[in-house]
Protein backbone atom coordinates (compact mmCIF):
# COMPACT_ATOMS: atom_id res chain seq x y z
CA UNK A 1 0.00 0.00 0.00
CA UNK A 2 1.37 3.44 -0.93
CA UNK A 3 1.33 6.67 1.01
CA UNK A 4 -1.91 8.37 1.91
CA UNK A 5 -3.39 11.59 0.50
CA UNK A 6 -5.65 13.70 2.71
CA UNK A 7 -8.46 15.85 1.31
CA UNK A 8 -9.86 18.51 3.65
CA UNK A 9 -13.25 19.93 2.65
CA UNK A 10 -14.04 23.54 3.54
CA UNK A 11 -17.70 24.11 2.63
CA UNK A 12 -17.89 27.90 2.94
CA UNK A 13 -18.03 30.55 0.21
CA UNK A 14 -18.63 34.30 0.15
CA UNK A 15 -21.62 33.70 -2.10
CA UNK A 16 -22.87 30.90 -4.28
CA UNK A 17 -21.84 31.06 -7.96
CA UNK A 18 -24.65 30.68 -10.49
CA UNK A 19 -23.42 27.35 -11.84
CA UNK A 20 -22.22 25.69 -8.65
CA UNK A 21 -23.65 22.48 -7.23
CA UNK A 22 -20.71 21.74 -4.90
CA UNK A 23 -21.40 21.18 -1.23
CA UNK A 24 -20.81 24.75 -0.06
CA UNK A 25 -22.74 27.48 1.73
CA UNK A 26 -22.48 31.26 1.62
CA UNK A 27 -21.31 32.92 4.82
CA UNK A 28 -23.87 35.71 5.08
CA UNK A 29 -23.89 36.83 8.69
CA UNK A 30 -21.52 37.07 11.66
CA UNK A 31 -23.24 34.00 13.11
CA UNK A 32 -22.40 32.13 9.90
CA UNK A 33 -18.79 33.27 10.23
CA UNK A 34 -18.64 31.95 13.79
CA UNK A 35 -19.74 28.58 12.36
CA UNK A 36 -16.31 28.25 10.76
CA UNK A 37 -14.84 28.01 14.26
CA UNK A 38 -17.14 25.11 15.27
CA UNK A 39 -16.46 23.50 11.92
CA UNK A 40 -12.68 23.62 12.32
CA UNK A 41 -13.00 22.09 15.81
CA UNK A 42 -15.17 19.29 14.40
CA UNK A 43 -12.69 18.74 11.56
CA UNK A 44 -9.86 18.38 14.06
CA UNK A 45 -11.91 15.86 16.02
CA UNK A 46 -12.53 13.90 12.83
CA UNK A 47 -8.83 13.93 11.89
CA UNK A 48 -7.89 12.61 15.33
CA UNK A 49 -10.32 9.70 14.97
CA UNK A 50 -10.94 8.95 11.31
CA UNK A 51 -13.40 6.16 10.70
CA UNK A 52 -11.22 3.76 8.80
CA UNK A 53 -7.48 3.94 8.41
CA UNK A 54 -5.22 1.84 6.26
CA UNK A 55 -3.35 -0.63 8.44
CA UNK A 56 0.00 0.62 7.20
CA UNK A 57 1.68 2.83 6.33
CA UNK A 58 0.02 6.06 7.34
CA UNK A 59 2.62 8.35 5.89
CA UNK A 60 0.92 11.28 4.22
CA UNK A 61 2.48 12.62 1.04
CA UNK A 62 -0.28 14.93 -0.21
CA UNK A 63 -2.76 17.22 1.53
CA UNK A 64 -5.41 19.10 -0.42
CA UNK A 65 -7.67 21.85 0.96
CA UNK A 66 -10.70 22.01 -1.35
CA UNK A 67 -14.12 23.51 -1.19
CA UNK A 68 -15.97 25.71 -1.09
CA UNK A 69 -13.38 28.37 -0.49
CA UNK A 70 -10.62 27.23 1.87
CA UNK A 71 -9.03 30.69 1.64
CA UNK A 72 -11.96 31.94 3.76
CA UNK A 73 -10.48 30.21 6.81
CA UNK A 74 -8.08 32.26 8.90
CA UNK A 75 -4.38 31.45 8.97
CA UNK A 76 -4.82 30.31 12.57
CA UNK A 77 -7.61 27.90 11.56
CA UNK A 78 -5.62 26.49 8.64
CA UNK A 79 -2.56 26.16 10.87
CA UNK A 80 -4.52 24.26 13.51
CA UNK A 81 -5.86 21.81 10.90
CA UNK A 82 -2.35 21.18 9.55
CA UNK A 83 -1.00 20.75 13.04
CA UNK A 84 -3.69 18.18 13.88
CA UNK A 85 -2.82 16.26 10.71
CA UNK A 86 0.89 16.31 11.64
CA UNK A 87 0.16 15.01 15.13
CA UNK A 88 -1.92 12.14 13.81
CA UNK A 89 0.09 11.19 10.72
CA UNK A 90 3.66 11.12 9.61
CA UNK A 91 3.66 13.91 7.03
CA UNK A 92 6.45 13.50 4.52
CA UNK A 93 8.62 16.66 4.58
CA UNK A 94 8.28 16.75 0.79
CA UNK A 95 4.49 16.40 0.86
CA UNK A 96 2.55 18.34 -1.77
CA UNK A 97 0.21 20.64 0.20
CA UNK A 98 -2.35 22.34 -2.04
CA UNK A 99 -4.94 24.94 -1.21
CA UNK A 100 -7.75 26.10 -3.48
CA UNK A 101 -7.93 29.89 -3.46
CA UNK A 102 -10.58 32.27 -4.64
CA UNK A 103 -8.75 35.36 -5.97
CA UNK A 104 -11.36 37.58 -4.31
CA UNK A 105 -10.44 36.36 -0.82
CA UNK A 106 -6.64 36.57 -0.61
CA UNK A 107 -4.18 39.31 0.32
CA UNK A 108 -0.38 39.57 0.07
CA UNK A 109 -0.27 38.95 3.80
CA UNK A 110 -2.57 35.89 3.78
CA UNK A 111 -0.60 34.33 0.92
CA UNK A 112 2.67 34.81 2.84
CA UNK A 113 1.02 33.16 5.83
CA UNK A 114 -0.14 30.15 3.76
CA UNK A 115 3.40 29.70 2.50
CA UNK A 116 4.86 29.85 5.98
CA UNK A 117 2.34 27.22 7.13
CA UNK A 118 3.96 24.84 4.63
CA UNK A 119 1.34 25.11 1.89
CA UNK A 120 3.40 24.79 -1.30
CA UNK A 121 0.86 24.68 -4.11
CA UNK A 122 -2.12 26.93 -4.87
CA UNK A 123 -5.03 26.12 -7.13
CA UNK A 124 -6.50 29.46 -8.14
CA UNK A 125 -10.05 29.55 -9.49
CA UNK A 126 -9.66 32.24 -12.15
CA UNK A 127 -12.05 30.71 -14.76
CA UNK A 128 -11.99 33.59 -17.27
CA UNK A 129 -10.09 36.79 -18.06
CA UNK A 130 -13.26 38.54 -19.24
CA UNK A 131 -14.98 40.61 -16.53
CA UNK A 132 -18.43 40.24 -18.11
CA UNK A 133 -18.11 36.44 -18.08
CA UNK A 134 -16.91 36.37 -14.46
CA UNK A 135 -19.87 38.54 -13.42
CA UNK A 136 -22.28 36.31 -15.31
CA UNK A 137 -20.91 33.22 -13.58
CA UNK A 138 -21.53 34.97 -10.27
CA UNK A 139 -17.84 34.90 -9.30
CA UNK A 140 -16.84 37.41 -6.64
CA UNK A 141 -13.49 38.31 -8.23
CA UNK A 142 -12.38 40.40 -11.19
CA UNK A 143 -9.56 39.39 -13.52
CA UNK A 144 -7.41 42.23 -12.16
CA UNK A 145 -7.77 40.70 -8.69
CA UNK A 146 -6.77 37.32 -10.11
CA UNK A 147 -3.61 38.79 -11.68
CA UNK A 148 -2.79 40.51 -8.42
CA UNK A 149 -3.30 37.25 -6.49
CA UNK A 150 -0.84 35.44 -8.79
CA UNK A 151 1.71 38.23 -8.33
CA UNK A 152 1.34 38.15 -4.55
CA UNK A 153 1.58 34.35 -4.56
CA UNK A 154 4.89 34.54 -6.42
CA UNK A 155 6.18 37.20 -4.03
CA UNK A 156 5.17 34.96 -1.13
CA UNK A 157 7.42 32.23 -2.57
CA UNK A 158 4.94 29.94 -4.33
CA UNK A 159 6.58 28.21 -7.28
CA UNK A 160 3.77 25.76 -8.03
CA UNK A 161 0.57 27.46 -9.16
CA UNK A 162 -2.42 25.90 -10.83
CA UNK A 163 -5.15 27.90 -12.52
CA UNK A 164 -8.71 26.83 -13.40
CA UNK A 165 -10.03 27.92 -16.77
CA UNK A 166 -13.60 27.49 -17.97
CA UNK A 167 -15.06 27.22 -21.47
CA UNK A 168 -18.67 27.22 -22.72
CA UNK A 169 -19.58 30.16 -20.45
CA UNK A 170 -22.81 31.91 -21.54
CA UNK A 171 -21.95 34.66 -24.00
CA UNK A 172 -18.38 33.41 -24.46
CA UNK A 173 -17.07 33.55 -28.02
CA UNK A 174 -14.07 31.88 -29.63
CA UNK A 175 -12.32 35.27 -29.53
CA UNK A 176 -13.09 35.92 -25.86
CA UNK A 177 -11.98 32.40 -24.94
CA UNK A 178 -8.74 32.86 -26.86
CA UNK A 179 -8.22 36.11 -24.96
CA UNK A 180 -8.70 34.27 -21.63
CA UNK A 181 -6.26 31.56 -22.68
CA UNK A 182 -3.65 34.13 -23.67
CA UNK A 183 -4.07 36.10 -20.45
CA UNK A 184 -3.82 32.96 -18.34
CA UNK A 185 -0.74 31.79 -20.22
CA UNK A 186 0.81 35.20 -19.60
CA UNK A 187 0.53 34.49 -15.86
CA UNK A 188 2.84 31.48 -16.42
CA UNK A 189 1.17 29.00 -14.07
CA UNK A 190 2.81 25.58 -13.77
CA UNK A 191 -0.53 23.77 -14.12
CA UNK A 192 -3.83 24.51 -15.86
CA UNK A 193 -7.14 22.70 -15.33
CA UNK A 194 -9.49 23.34 -18.22
CA UNK A 195 -13.18 22.48 -17.98
CA UNK A 196 -16.34 23.06 -19.99
CA UNK A 197 -19.14 24.56 -17.94
CA UNK A 198 -21.70 21.89 -17.05
CA UNK A 199 -25.25 23.01 -16.40
CA UNK A 200 -26.13 21.24 -13.15
CA UNK A 201 -29.63 20.70 -11.83
CA UNK A 202 -30.57 22.82 -8.82
CA UNK A 203 -28.45 25.81 -9.87
CA UNK A 204 -29.73 29.19 -11.17
CA UNK A 205 -28.09 28.34 -14.52
CA UNK A 206 -30.17 25.17 -14.77
CA UNK A 207 -33.41 27.12 -14.87
CA UNK A 208 -31.99 29.40 -17.51
CA UNK A 209 -30.13 27.00 -19.77
CA UNK A 210 -31.60 23.54 -19.21
CA UNK A 211 -33.34 23.55 -22.59
CA UNK A 212 -30.74 25.36 -24.65
CA UNK A 213 -27.04 25.06 -23.85
CA UNK A 214 -25.39 28.50 -23.52
CA UNK A 215 -22.74 27.73 -26.14
CA UNK A 216 -23.20 25.65 -29.28
CA UNK A 217 -21.51 22.27 -29.38
CA UNK A 218 -19.45 23.29 -32.39
CA UNK A 219 -18.13 26.40 -30.59
CA UNK A 220 -17.35 24.38 -27.46
CA UNK A 221 -15.48 21.90 -29.64
CA UNK A 222 -13.37 24.68 -31.19
CA UNK A 223 -12.53 26.02 -27.72
CA UNK A 224 -11.47 22.53 -26.67
CA UNK A 225 -9.18 22.18 -29.69
CA UNK A 226 -7.78 25.66 -29.15
CA UNK A 227 -6.93 24.79 -25.53
CA UNK A 228 -4.95 21.73 -26.56
CA UNK A 229 -3.10 23.56 -29.31
CA UNK A 230 -2.21 26.70 -27.39
CA UNK A 231 -1.16 24.87 -24.24
CA UNK A 232 0.93 22.35 -26.19
CA UNK A 233 2.66 25.21 -28.02
CA UNK A 234 3.64 26.66 -24.65
CA UNK A 235 5.08 23.39 -23.34
CA UNK A 236 2.15 22.17 -21.23
CA UNK A 237 1.60 18.44 -21.50
CA UNK A 238 -1.91 17.15 -21.21
CA UNK A 239 -1.55 14.42 -18.59
CA UNK A 240 -5.21 13.86 -17.79
CA UNK A 241 -8.42 14.55 -19.73
CA UNK A 242 -8.87 18.04 -18.19
CA UNK A 243 -5.41 18.76 -16.81
CA UNK A 244 -2.23 20.19 -18.31
CA UNK A 245 1.14 20.74 -16.65
CA UNK A 246 4.67 21.82 -17.29
CA UNK A 247 7.03 18.84 -16.84
CA UNK A 248 7.16 17.74 -13.21
CA UNK A 249 4.15 19.81 -12.09
CA UNK A 250 1.36 17.23 -12.44
CA UNK A 251 -0.94 17.27 -9.40
CA UNK A 252 0.32 14.49 -7.14
CA UNK A 253 -2.84 14.55 -5.05
CA UNK A 254 -5.31 14.28 -7.93
CA UNK A 255 -3.20 11.59 -9.57
CA UNK A 256 -4.04 9.39 -6.56
CA UNK A 257 -7.71 9.46 -7.59
CA UNK A 258 -6.88 8.14 -11.05
CA UNK A 259 -4.34 5.53 -10.05
CA UNK A 260 -6.43 3.89 -7.33
CA UNK A 261 -4.25 4.98 -4.40
CA UNK A 262 -5.73 5.55 -0.96
CA UNK A 263 -7.02 8.92 0.15
CA UNK A 264 -8.76 10.03 3.29
CA UNK A 265 -11.38 12.77 2.93
CA UNK A 266 -12.24 14.77 6.04
CA UNK A 267 -14.94 17.41 6.39
CA UNK A 268 -18.56 17.73 5.39
CA UNK A 269 -19.52 15.34 2.58
CA UNK A 270 -15.91 14.31 1.93
CA UNK A 271 -15.21 10.99 0.21
CA UNK A 272 -12.44 8.52 1.01
CA UNK A 273 -11.00 5.41 -0.52
CA UNK A 274 -9.19 3.21 1.90
CA UNK A 275 -8.24 -0.21 0.60
CA UNK A 276 -11.41 -1.84 -0.72
CA UNK A 277 -13.72 0.67 0.98
CA UNK A 278 -15.26 3.78 -0.49
CA UNK A 279 -16.53 5.98 2.32
CA UNK A 280 -18.72 9.06 2.35
CA UNK A 281 -19.07 11.62 5.12
CA UNK A 282 -22.26 13.09 6.51
CA UNK A 283 -23.55 15.91 4.26
CA UNK A 284 -25.81 17.71 6.76
CA UNK A 285 -23.84 20.36 8.64
CA UNK A 286 -25.93 20.19 11.83
CA UNK A 287 -25.62 16.41 12.00
CA UNK A 288 -21.90 16.58 11.13
CA UNK A 289 -21.21 19.00 14.00
CA UNK A 290 -23.44 17.16 16.47
CA UNK A 291 -21.95 13.75 15.74
CA UNK A 292 -18.38 14.95 16.09
CA UNK A 293 -19.37 16.81 19.26
CA UNK A 294 -20.45 13.42 20.61
CA UNK A 295 -17.25 11.84 19.24
CA UNK A 296 -19.28 9.69 16.90
CA UNK A 297 -18.20 8.77 13.40
CA UNK A 298 -19.43 10.87 10.47
CA UNK A 299 -18.33 8.48 7.71
CA UNK A 300 -20.24 5.54 6.35
CA UNK A 301 -19.21 2.83 3.95
CA UNK A 302 -20.70 3.70 0.61
CA UNK A 303 -19.31 0.72 -1.22
CA UNK A 304 -17.04 -2.23 -0.64
CA UNK A 305 -15.20 -2.84 -3.87
CA UNK A 306 -15.25 -6.38 -5.19
CA UNK A 307 -12.27 -7.60 -7.19
CA UNK A 308 -14.39 -7.07 -10.31
CA UNK A 309 -14.99 -3.42 -9.32
CA UNK A 310 -11.27 -2.93 -8.74
CA UNK A 311 -10.46 -4.34 -12.16
CA UNK A 312 -12.94 -2.01 -13.88
CA UNK A 313 -11.69 0.99 -11.90
CA UNK A 314 -8.14 0.11 -12.87
CA UNK A 315 -9.11 0.84 -16.48
CA UNK A 316 -11.69 3.59 -16.24
CA UNK A 317 -9.78 5.72 -13.74
CA UNK A 318 -6.30 4.89 -15.01
CA UNK A 319 -7.16 5.63 -18.63
CA UNK A 320 -8.17 9.17 -17.72
CA UNK A 321 -4.41 9.73 -17.58
CA UNK A 322 -2.82 10.18 -20.98
CA UNK A 323 -0.10 7.66 -20.08
CA UNK A 324 -2.87 5.06 -19.73
CA UNK A 325 -2.59 1.85 -17.73
CA UNK A 326 0.11 -0.79 -17.53
CA UNK A 327 -1.14 -4.24 -18.49
CA UNK A 328 1.89 -5.67 -16.68
CA UNK A 329 0.76 -3.94 -13.49
CA UNK A 330 -2.74 -5.35 -14.00
CA UNK A 331 -1.27 -8.85 -14.12
CA UNK A 332 0.85 -8.29 -11.03
CA UNK A 333 -2.09 -6.88 -9.12
CA UNK A 334 -4.83 -9.30 -10.14
CA UNK A 335 -2.77 -12.41 -10.92
CA UNK A 336 -4.15 -12.85 -14.42
CA UNK A 337 -3.67 -11.49 -17.88
CA UNK A 338 -5.94 -8.52 -18.71
CA UNK A 339 -6.93 -10.29 -21.92
CA UNK A 340 -8.68 -12.99 -19.90
CA UNK A 341 -11.46 -10.67 -18.78
CA UNK A 342 -11.07 -7.64 -21.05
CA UNK A 343 -9.46 -9.07 -24.19
CA UNK A 344 -12.54 -8.42 -26.36
CA UNK A 345 -13.03 -4.89 -25.02
CA UNK A 346 -9.37 -4.00 -25.56
CA UNK A 347 -9.47 -5.44 -29.06
CA UNK A 348 -12.67 -3.53 -29.84
CA UNK A 349 -11.52 -0.11 -28.60
CA UNK A 350 -8.15 -0.50 -30.31
CA UNK A 351 -9.85 -1.65 -33.51
CA UNK A 352 -12.12 1.41 -33.45
CA UNK A 353 -9.10 3.67 -33.03
CA UNK A 354 -10.27 4.79 -29.57
CA UNK A 355 -7.29 3.32 -27.72
CA UNK A 356 -3.83 2.07 -28.57
CA UNK A 357 -1.30 -0.34 -27.08
CA UNK A 358 2.36 0.36 -26.82
CA UNK A 359 4.89 -1.62 -24.80
CA UNK A 360 2.31 -3.13 -22.49
CA UNK A 361 0.49 0.14 -21.91
CA UNK A 362 -3.07 0.80 -23.01
CA UNK A 363 -4.10 4.42 -23.48
CA UNK A 364 -6.79 6.52 -25.13
CA UNK A 365 -6.11 8.01 -28.55
CA UNK A 366 -7.19 11.56 -29.41
CA UNK A 367 -10.37 10.07 -30.86
CA UNK A 368 -10.91 8.04 -27.67
CA UNK A 369 -10.44 11.07 -25.40
CA UNK A 370 -13.30 12.81 -27.21
CA UNK A 371 -15.68 9.98 -26.33
CA UNK A 372 -13.96 8.78 -23.17
CA UNK A 373 -17.22 8.11 -21.31
CA UNK A 374 -18.37 5.78 -24.06
CA UNK A 375 -15.02 3.97 -24.03
CA UNK A 376 -15.21 3.53 -20.25
CA UNK A 377 -18.74 2.12 -20.52
CA UNK A 378 -17.39 -0.68 -22.71
CA UNK A 379 -15.46 -2.06 -19.73
CA UNK A 380 -18.76 -2.79 -17.96
CA UNK A 381 -19.93 -5.20 -20.66
S1 LIG B 1 -16.44 29.66 -5.24
FE2 LIG B 1 -16.40 27.54 -6.02
S3 LIG B 1 -17.40 26.30 -4.43
FE4 LIG B 1 -17.90 28.47 -4.00
S5 LIG B 1 -19.85 28.78 -4.98
FE6 LIG B 1 -18.29 29.41 -6.48
S7 LIG B 1 -17.87 27.56 -7.69
FE8 LIG B 1 -19.00 26.91 -5.85
Among 24, 25, 67, 145, which residue has the most ligand 1 atoms within 8 Å of its CB, making it the best to mutate? 24
Beta bridge partners of 357: 362
Is any ligand 1 atom within 6 A of the Cβ of residue 243?
no
The ligand 1 atom at the shortest distance from the C-alpha of residue 100 is: 2
Could you tell me which residues come within 8 angstroms of residue 59 by beta carbon, excluding any fewer than 6 positions away? 3, 4, 89, 90, 91, 92
Beta-strand (E) ranges in the chain?
4-10, 12-13, 25-26, 59-67, 90-101, 121-127, 161-167, 191-196, 237-240, 243-245, 263-266, 271-274, 277-281, 299-304, 325-326, 355-358, 361-364
Residue 331: per-residue pLDDT? 96
Nearest in space to 277 (alpha carbons), one of 257, 304, 258: 304
- CATH class of the domain defined by 4-258: alpha beta
Least confident of 43-57, 118-132, 292-306: 43-57
ipTM for this prediction:
0.99
Is any ligand 1 atom within 6 A of the Cβ of residue 95?
no
Residue 238: per-residue pLDDT? 96
Pairing of strands 25-26, 12-13: parallel
What value does the mean pLDDT take over residues 60-79? 96
Among 9, 14, 67, which residue has the most ligand 1 atoms within 8 Å of its CB, making it the best to mutate? 67
pLDDT at 334 over 80: yes
At 358-370, the pLDDT tens digits run 989 999 999 999 9
Residue 30: per-residue pLDDT? 74
Ligand 1 geometric centre to CA of 126 (Å): 11
Residue 57: per-residue pLDDT? 53
Least confident of 118-122, 127-131, 296-300: 296-300
The full set of domain ranges for the chain reads 4-258, 307-380
Nearest in space to 202 (alpha carbons), one of 9, 1, 16: 16
What value does the mean pLDDT take over residues 235-262? 96
The ligand 1 atom at the shortest distance from the C-alpha of residue 68 is: 3
Architecture of domain 307-380: Orthogonal Bundle (1.10)
pLDDT at 212 over 90: no
CB 268 within 8 A of CB 285: yes
Is any ligand 1 atom within 6 A of the Cβ of residue 13?
yes
More confident residue, 55 or 46: 46
pLDDT at 54 over 60: no
Q: Is 115 left (phi over 0), alpha (psi -120 to 50) or beta?
A: alpha
Amino acid sequence: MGSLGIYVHVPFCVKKCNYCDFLSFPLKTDTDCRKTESYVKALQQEIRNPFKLPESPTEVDTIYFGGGTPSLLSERQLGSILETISRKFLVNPKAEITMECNPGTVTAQSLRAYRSLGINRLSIGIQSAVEKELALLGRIHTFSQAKQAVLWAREAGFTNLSVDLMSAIPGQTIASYEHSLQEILALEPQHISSYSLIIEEGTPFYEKYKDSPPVEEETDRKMYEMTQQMLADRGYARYEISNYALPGYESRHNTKYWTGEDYLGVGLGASSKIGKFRLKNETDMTVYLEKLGERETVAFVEEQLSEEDEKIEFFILGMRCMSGVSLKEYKERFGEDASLRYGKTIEKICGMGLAAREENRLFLTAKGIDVSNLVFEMFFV
